[in-house]
Amino acid sequence: MLPPAGDPPPRNERIIAVQATSGTLLSISCVTVLVRCYVRIFIKKAFGWDDWMMVLAMLFYALLAATSIGSTLYGTGYKFEQLTVHQSMTAMKYWWVAEVGYCFSSVFCKISVCIFLLRITVRREHRWVLYTIMGFTSVSGLIFMLTMMLQCQPVKYFWTQAAAAVDPSIKGHCNIDRVVIMTYVYSGFAALCDLTVGFVPIWIVKGLQMKRSTKIAIGGILGVACIASSGALARTAFVETFRDPEFLYATVWIGVWSNVETGLGITAGSLATLRPLTVRWFGSSRPDRYYSMEMQAQDLSDRPSEPRPRRRWGDSLLFSTVNNTTFDHERGKTVTEVSRYETENPDSAGSRDGSQEALPQNDALRQRHDQRPMEIVVQRTVEVARPKQ
């Protein structure tokens, strides 16, 4: 028979750190993801796989933040001697669920950012880097999650061990050494992936035809992933606290830095998609060619198609030049601006419907014949799907 539950322990600086970090980052990341969904659904009308991955990351991060705060209400940040058995067991159970939330949230966030970057990536080596990150992130995250969930046999011994001293019938064991090793490995790999994802956008936007300020903004926002990697690196300094007998007291900072890593990653990944909203709300005195060309392409696609007149040999000379090509990183398409030059042949002006060439008949026509041909310039903006690399 377990002792009854006691009153919640008083707050201390460790509890305040967990609650403040989790609550603040949860609020910020939730707002940015909601605004991202609004932009993608109602403005861009293109809700893609990267958006679904980020929504899943947000849901699991909400689980992580909620269980982190919930664990502080029962004993995280205190030693077992200061808690009742019920409080210790409840706090440990919250901690176990938080580990699951962290693993899923971290993996889905990294996959979402990689898919987003694939929209604007055209070089094969960049694409292979992103595919590699997604593959290793998925595999390592799954292995780490299984390691944390199955560290004790039976699984419930992770939280029932707090009552083993008063209930001899509770038996089991936990493999802490395996947990410590896997935490080191996953934290280092997560930091490496975050740094790579942070630098890849800089390589990508460097080759796009945008204003320098736009490049700096996009690269800087996505580069916040580098800051998120600091959470994974900082967590490695506290990995050995898993061995501490006072688990709830010693592992507080692991929970804090796990929230920092995931919360900043979700926020940065969502901020990178909000530029269309700022353009709609605040406008732009010098819009990027990228966005103006996208609007022109949309206008052309909305116009009804008109039959083209049949051209005969000798009627005119046609040639086209490509003025500009950019890549729409929001819609994953190539936008090309083409100028079409049409040189009318004056000799064939009167023979549109005949097979014989009309010869000049008087001095006026002969003078017209000697003049330079008339040029008609038709500028069009077309939008085509990006070819697979």
pLDDT in tens, 15-33: 999 999 999 999 999 999 9
- Is residue 226 in some structural domain? yes
Q: What is the pTM of this model?
A: 0.70
Which uninterrupted H or E stretch holds 199? helix 176-206
Q: How large a percentage of the chain has pLDDT more than 70? A: 63
Residue 287: per-residue pLDDT? 45
As for how many domains the chain has, the answer is 2
Average pLDDT in the 242-266 region?
Answer: 93
Domain identity same for 90 and 202? yes
Q: What Å distances lie between residue 216 and 197, 206, 293, CA to CA?
A: 16, 9, 21
Domain identity same for 194 and 103? yes
Write down which residue in 282, 308, 329 finishes a domain: 282
Domain identity same for 332 and 196? no
Q: Domain limits at 201?
A: 13-282
Domain identity same for 273 and 312? no
Domain identity same for 323 and 271? no
Phi, psi of 343 (to 5 degrees): -100, 110
Domain identity same for 160 and 259? yes
pLDDT at residue 142 greater than cutoff 60 = yes
Domain identity same for 270 and 317? no
Phi, psi of 360 (to 5 degrees): -65, 140
d(CA 383, CA 325): 10
The single-letter code of the amino acid at 166 is V
Residue 240: per-residue pLDDT? 93
- Is residue 294 in some structural domain? no
d(CA 4, CA 41): 50
Supply the CATH number for residue 175's domain: 1.20.1070
**What three-state secondary structure class fits 334?**
strand
- Is residue 175 in some structural domain? yes
pLDDT at residue 288 greater than cutoff 80 = no
Mean pLDDT of the chain: 75
For the chain, the distance separating the N- and C-terminal CA atoms, rounded to the nearest angstrom, is 65
Domain identity same for 128 and 85? yes
Domain identity same for 127 and 152? yes
Residue 316: per-residue pLDDT? 41
- Is residue 232 in some structural domain? yes
- Residue among 179, 229, 218 nearest 329 (CA): 218
Domain identity same for 303 and 270? no
Q: What Å distances lie between residue 240 and 70, 100, 149, 243, 285, CA to CA?
A: 24, 20, 18, 6, 54
Residue 162: per-residue pLDDT? 86
- Is residue 1 in some structural domain? no
- Is residue 225 in some structural domain? yes
Burial (CB count within 10 angstroms: exposed 0-12, middle 13-18, buried 19+), residue 375: exposed
Write down which residue in 282, 312, 329 finishes a domain: 282
Q: Over the stretch 179-232, which tens digit does the pLDDT of each residue have?
A: 999 999 998 888 888 888 777 777 766 666 666 766 666 666 556 666 667 788
- Is residue 355 in some structural domain? no
93: tokens are 């159970």
- Is residue 290 in some structural domain? no
